[in-house]
């Protein structure tokens, strides 16, 4: 078997079988893209920051299931995940604080645009992106922590 | 600028700022950030109550995002909210100062501060919220932060306690959530004032008893009333001492007592049957928990049982429904949060110096730790209701209120509970501080200055607490009691205050 081009490891060493890995390699991009789509269209269609964030996290968890935790942790380490999560929360708070420019906490100060267009609804899409970031990396960090704890217990 | 949203903004910002940058700065800087934000919150709560006292309205309403109630979320600062904010932030400030030295023995201080400040965010947000679902969200924020804090030591015993606490807490949240869902389904609004108005205009015969029972179970679990108390004696002692002080001191009151009385008195309205259930559960907690406390040898577990018992007094007082009873209940809530957090800080100080929580292991610590011994004596006498400490006045008012309304049995139970409390704290004093100093404790030292400072300040409040009953300070308590007594007029007051620009 040839070396895996993405990981450098011999294929089949960590994670699941070659079939699962190949399918995963084909689908994770689509899953991630779908998550981003749900986040971006949160103000227009069902879903939003939380649902989209969960889907984004699922795409990374998918990598972890198929290729093992080391490959996934190389994409987003635990420290980076925890920092990004804090940044997501602070972003949301800062967007809320922007409202004070117009005189009220959480006031929607940006231009509202035309309804049902992607760039509309003022601060709502920005808040959705902040929530998506927080939920996405937060859920991934929880899963990573569980996997690491489980590994530590086995040793 | 209106100060009301700052109660949520300040701790939330500090929490995530510390989480993001905690590893980059020196430890002193993180201590300073959390200390300053707790101090700001305390100052703001005094300022807020003062502003409320001088304003023409009975409530200050902040419209989040500029949306007019009943649309959008509003924040309401009235007498009761101001009273609770001062209680919470006072304890949080001293606990934060205490943690500067105490938390050194744990590894991850930035994480501790993040969770601690998130818990403060949750409690402040719950108190200030004028929207029922927002109240639930903040309740969950505070609860989840506290589950994590109980497990902070990550020993097997702590993880087990935290797991049990998380399960019971989630069951409680589930009941509360179902209750809110039914109320929303019936009234089609989540704004508390508007909900109160609609329930008053079109009463429902089945809805109110049904949600009352759900809320009684849910908030009863959060407040650890006696049939629902089993998680508390495990969870509270397992946390680091400064967190035990927060959990026993203010968390069960903000999440349990405050949320319950706010919903019952101001939204769905009280009935005689409900009040008698509250009084009965209160009296039951008072007696059962204190008897269980008598036989404990673990100092923090003993204190945890006393928390259940003292919350019983609060419920007995509020359940009487008379102005005097409610005043006594709320006064006892404030006093208990001061002396119980002081007692937990004392136990933390003993643990810090000697490394044990078992009363049989300690002896004669008075000689080596005079400040801890002195403050602990003051707190013990306050909780047992010895004059002239603050606990005496509040228990006296509750007993008077019982007699005034003709409940002699409850008055007797309150007095009996107090005597048993005294007995159990005499045991603490004798085993921990009196007698001969053990040989192995020859070299222990008194705790560092920051810990001393918190304990001495809280002890001073215990001694001086009685002055809150003087006419010039009376607005603090009577304003809070007034909100509960106004009952469903709350709707008119809040919607009226919101209509003004």
Burial class of residue B376 in the structure, from the number of CB atoms within 10 Å of its CB (0-12 exposed, 13-18 middle, 19+ buried): buried
Helices (H), A4-77: 18-40, 49-67, 69-75
pLDDT of residue A1: 40
pLDDT of residue B176: 95
Q: Which two tokens stand for residue B295?
A: 């036989």
**Can you tell me the distance from the alpha carbon of B104 to that of B99, in angstroms, rounded to the nearest whole number?**
8
Give the H/E segment covering residue B1. none
pLDDT of residue B438: 80
Q: How confident is the model at residue B343 (pLDDT cuts 50, 70, 90)?
A: very high
Q: What is the pLDDT of residues B314-340, one digit of tens each?
A: 999 999 989 999 999 999 999 999 999
Tokens standing for B19? 């989480």
- Angstrom distance (rounded) from CA A139 to CA A59: 11
Note the pLDDT of residue A7.
45
Contacts of B16 in chain A (CB under 8 A): 86, 89-90, 93
- Under DSSP, the state recorded for B249 is I
The CA-based diameter of chain B, rounded to the nearest angstrom, is: 72
In order of A121, B47, B131, B260, B335, the CA distances from B76 in angstroms are 27, 15, 9, 16, 24
The reported pLDDT for the residue numbered B1 is: 55
Question: DSSP readout, B255-274?
Answer: IIIIHHHIIIIIII---HHH
Q: What is the ipTM of this complex?
A: 0.83
Of B406 and A16, more confident: B406
Q: Report the share of chain B in percent with pLDDT over 90.
A: 56
Residue B53 is predicted with a pLDDT of: 85
**C-alpha pair distances (Å), B41 with each of B55, B118, B350, B477:** 21, 13, 29, 20
Calculate mean pLDDT across residues B429-457: 86
Minimal C-alpha gap between B5 and chain A (Å): 7
Residue B8: closest C-alpha in chain A: A93
Interchain CB distance below 8 Å, A104 and B12: no
Region B102-121 average pLDDT: 89
Measuring CA to CA, which residue among B88, B64, B122 is closest to residue B498? B64
Looking at the predicted structure, is the pLDDT value of residue B220 above 70? yes
Residue to mutate among B4, B5, B144, with most A CBs inside 10 A, is B5
CA-nearest residue of chain B to A94? B13
Q: Is the pLDDT of residue A153 over 80?
A: no
* Whether B5 contacts chain A with CB within 8 A: yes
Measured distance CA(B266)–CA(B480) in Å, rounded = 12
Distance set, CA B483 to CA B166, B406, B412, B478 (Å):
32, 24, 29, 9
Amino acid B399: pLDDT:
93
B9 touches A at CB < 8 Å: yes
Question: In sequence order, what are the residues at sequence separation of 6 or more whose Cβ sits closer than 8 angstroms to the Cβ of residue A7?
Answer: A67, A71
Q: How confident is the model at residue A2 (pLDDT cuts 50, 70, 90)?
A: very low
A53-90 tens-digit pLDDT: 999 999 988 888 888 878 888 888 888 888 888 899 99
Average pLDDT, chain B: 90
Residue B442 confidence (pLDDT) above 90: no
Helices and strands of chain B, counted as H and E runs? 20, 2
Neighbours of B273 (CB within 10 A): 10
So what's the pLDDT on residue B113? 92
Q: What pLDDT is stored for residue A3 in this prediction?
A: 46
The whole-number average pLDDT for the span B145-160 is 89
The whole-angstrom separation of Cα B282 and Cα B285 is 5
Chain B residues within an 8 Å CB radius of A108? 65
3-state DSSP helix/strand/coil % of chain B, to nearest 5? 80, 5, 20
């Amino acid at each position: 078997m040839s070396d895996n081009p993405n990981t450098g490891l011999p294929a089949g060493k960590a994670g699941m079988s070659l079939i699962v890995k190949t399918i995963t390699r084909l689908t994770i991009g689509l899953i991630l893209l779908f998550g981003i789509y749900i986040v971006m269209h949160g103000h227009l269609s069902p879903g939003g920051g939380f649902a989209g964030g969960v889907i984004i996290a699922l795409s990374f968890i998918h990598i972890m299931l198929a290729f093992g935790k080391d490959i996934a942790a190389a994409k987003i380490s635990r420290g980076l995940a925890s920092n990004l999560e804090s940044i997501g929360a602070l972003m949301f708070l800062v967007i809320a604080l922007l409202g004070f420019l117009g005189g009220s906490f959480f006031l929607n100060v940006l231009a509202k645009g035309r309804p049902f267009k992607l760039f509309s609804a003022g601060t709502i899409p920005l808040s959705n992106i902040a929530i998506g970031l927080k939920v996405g990396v937060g859920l991934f960090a929880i899963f990573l922590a569980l996997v690491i704890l489980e590994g530590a217990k086995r040793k | 600028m209106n100060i009301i949203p700052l109660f949520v903004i300040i701790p939330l910002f500090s929490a995530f700022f510390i989480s993001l940058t905690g590893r980059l700065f020196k430890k002193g800087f993180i201590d300073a950030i959390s200390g300053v934000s707790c101090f700001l919150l305390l100052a703001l709560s005094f300022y807020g109550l003062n502003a409320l006292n001088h304003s023409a309205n009975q409530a200050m309403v902040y419209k989040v995002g500029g949306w007019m109630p009943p649309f959008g979320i509003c924040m309401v600062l009235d007498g009761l909210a101001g009273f609770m904010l001062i209680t919470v932030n006072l304890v949080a400030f001293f606990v934060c100062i205490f943690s500067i030295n105490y938390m050194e023995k744990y590894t991850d201080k930035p994480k501790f501060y993040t969770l601690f400040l998130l818990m403060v965010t949750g409690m402040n947000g719950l108190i200030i919220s004028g929207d029922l679902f927002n109240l639930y969200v903040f309740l969950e924020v505070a609860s989840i932060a506290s589950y994590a804090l109980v497990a902070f030591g990550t020993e097997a015993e702590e993880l087990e306690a935290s797991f049990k606490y998380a399960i019971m807490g989630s069951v409680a949240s589930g009941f509360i959530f179902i209750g809110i869902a039914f109320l929303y389904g019936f009234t089609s609004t989540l704004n508390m004032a508007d909900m109160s108005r609609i329930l008053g205009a079109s009463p429902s015969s089945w809805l109110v008893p049904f949600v009352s029972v759900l809320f009684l179970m849910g908030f009863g679990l959060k407040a650890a009333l006696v049939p629902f108390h089993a998680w508390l004696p495990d969870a509270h002692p397992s946390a680091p001492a400064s967190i035990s002080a927060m959990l026993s001191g203010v968390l069960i009151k903000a999440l349990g007592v405050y949320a319950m009385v706010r919903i019952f008195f101001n939204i769905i309205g009280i009935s005689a049957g409900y009040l008698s259930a509250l009084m009965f559960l209160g009296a039951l907690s008072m007696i059962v928990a204190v008897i269980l406390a008598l036989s404990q040898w673990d100092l923090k577990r003993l204190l945890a049982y006393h928390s259940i018992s003292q919350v019983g007094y609060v419920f007995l007082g509020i359940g009487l429904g008379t102005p005097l009873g409610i005043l006594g209940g709320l006064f006892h809530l404030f006093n208990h949060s001061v002396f119980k957090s002081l007692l937990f800080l004392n136990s933390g100080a003993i643990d810090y110096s000697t490394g044990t929580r078992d009363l049989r292991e300690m002896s004669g610590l008075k000689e080596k730790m005079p400040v801890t011994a002195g403050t602990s004596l003051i707190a013990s006498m306050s909780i047992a209701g010895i004059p002239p400490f603050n606990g005496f006045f509040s228990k006296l008012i509750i007993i008077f209120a019982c007699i005034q309304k003709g409940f002699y049995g409850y008055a007797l139970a309150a007095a009996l509970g107090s005597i048993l409390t005294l007995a159990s704290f005499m045991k603490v004093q004798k085993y921990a501080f009196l007698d001969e100093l053990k040989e192995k404790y020859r070299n222990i030292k008194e705790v560092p200055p920051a810990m001393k400072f918190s304990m001495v300040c809280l002890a001073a409040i215990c001694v001086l607490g009685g002055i809150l009953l003087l006419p010039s300070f009376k607005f603090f308590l009577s304003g809070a009691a007034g909100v509960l007594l106004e009952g469903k007029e709350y709707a008119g007051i809040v919607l009226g205050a919101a209509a003004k620009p």
